Amino acid sequence: MANKALVYAIYPNEKQNIQCQKTFGCCRFVYNQMLTVQKERHEKREKHLSKTKANTYCNQHLKKEHPFLKEVDKFALTNAIYHLADGYDRFFKHLSRFPKYKSKHKAKKSYTTNITNGNIEIGDNSIKLPKLGWVRAKIHRRPKENWKLKSATVTQNRDDTYQVSILFAYEESISPAAVTEATTIGLDYKSDGLYISSEGDICGMPHYFRQSADKLAKAQRKLRHKTIGSKNYNKQQKRVARIHRHIANQRKDFLQKKSTEITNLYSFVCVEDLNMKAMANRGFGNGKATLDNGYGMFLTMLDYKLRDRGGQLIKVGRFFPSSQLCSHCGFKNPLVKNLSIRHWDCPNCGKTHIDRDINAAKNIKKEGLRLLTA
């Protein structure tokens, strides 16, 4: 079984908006209360509550002490407790920090509910959700007939727009693709674009953040001169958030289309396993361009789209000298370590005017094919 989520924009009315705000608040309240309970039990040397026992504690104690918790969807509260349990599990496995209390103003506004007795449905131009009923939505895509609906996550973005992510489970029956030269491509990262392929194609990534930089700076200057906490401050803060969300949506849309274009043509994509966080450091001088590219997001999209088609994303080691090797004879030229050298001649095979980036992409493809067939 495999899972896939479809995200829809929803437009709740005033009554539904109030119910959503109640659910966000109750989930945050239960999360913080159970975190306090777990801390107190630890201080008293008592056993840590499992997620099922923590949910029972919520039903037997918290709902009696705080009757307003009964006004919201019970599955939303259960999932909030399960999210806290997941946070503890990640902490014990040294994968993340200790769970923190959620702030009313800073925490992400979202909750997850499960399907039962047909309480979640997708209509023609609306979606049915527990405690909300039919909510107006933009249905841009339909799930397949063999997909089984599991849960729904309602989220309010910083600019006050809503979206719901509906999770489906389906039987995965994918036949693996054959590894050939024709079905494989190598991609070399370009900081001033997005990538250059082993076929010589250059993807020029539009710098969406730079395009909206002046508009964003003007909105942030207006925000700076307003009184913190006032109505005008909150209104301007939403305008700033709307610009940020517009930039993020532009970037995501471009990367989705590019990744789909590549996966429709090739089954195997070879890339370098780069440390993008280190590359975005000030020492390189191109941190803003690196962050604006969204290359890590691009690789994530390639990964799951290739797997859905029976292909694979191959990551070559970050210390593999892709730029220094001649793609024709394999000669290693240490002089090419200098990043200012964009073209060079191979002293071994006599190949002239080798383009640094295309040569690196070809070497990444060769190494990826070697790893695939090893």
Residue 330 has pLDDT above 70, yes or no: yes
pTM: 0.85
Q: How far is CA 99 from the centre of its chain?
A: 21
Local confidence band at 262 (pLDDT 50, 70, 90 cut-offs): very high
Query: What is the pLDDT, as a whole number, of residue 125?
Result: 94
pLDDT over 70 for what percent of the chain?
99
Lay out the sheet containing 312-316: strands in order across. Answer: 202-203, 195-197, 184-189, 268-272, 312-316
Residue 281 has pLDDT above 80, yes or no: no
Query: What is the pLDDT, as a whole number, of residue 79?
Result: 97
How far apart CA 13 and CA 43 sit, in angstroms, is 45
How far apart CA 223 and CA 236 sit, in angstroms, is 6
Q: 201 with 210: CB under 8 angstroms?
A: no
Exposed/middle/buried for residue 9 (C-beta within 10 Å: 0-12, 13-18, 19+): middle
**Bridge-based pairing state of the strands 121-122 and 126-129:** antiparallel
Checking phi first, is residue 267 left (phi over 0); if not, alpha (psi -120 to 50) or beta? Answer: alpha
When pLDDT is averaged across residues 63-76 and rounded to a whole number, the result is: 96
Side-chain-side CA neighbours of 160 within 13 Å: the count stands at 12
Query: What is the pLDDT, as a whole number, of residue 162?
Result: 97
When pLDDT is averaged across residues 292-317 and rounded to a whole number, the result is: 92
Query: What is the pLDDT, as a whole number, of residue 212?
Result: 94
Q: 356 with 202: CB under 8 angstroms?
A: no
Q: 7 with 152: CB under 8 angstroms?
A: no
Residue 119 has pLDDT above 80, yes or no: yes
CA distances from 164 to 115, 134, 153 (A): 14, 13, 5
Query: What is the pLDDT, as a whole number, of residue 172?
Result: 81
Return the domain boundaries, the chain.
2-170, 184-207+261-373
Side-chain-side CA neighbours of 306 within 13 Å: the count stands at 25
CA distances from 335 to 8, 66, 188, 345, 359 (A): 52, 71, 19, 11, 15
H/E stretch holding 38: helix 14-43
Residue 14 has pLDDT above 70, yes or no: yes
Residue 204 has pLDDT above 90, yes or no: no
How far apart CA 78 and CA 146 sit, in angstroms, is 28
Considering only residues 149 and 352, tell me which one the structure prediction assigns the higher pLDDT: 149
H/E stretch holding 109: strand 109-114
When pLDDT is averaged across residues 51-56 and rounded to a whole number, the result is: 95
Query: What is the pLDDT, as a whole number, of residue 157?
Result: 94
Query: What is the pLDDT, as a whole number, of residue 278?
Result: 79
When pLDDT is averaged across residues 230-242 and rounded to a whole number, the result is: 94
Residue 282 has pLDDT above 70, yes or no: no
Write out the two tokens for 282. Answer: 């000030």
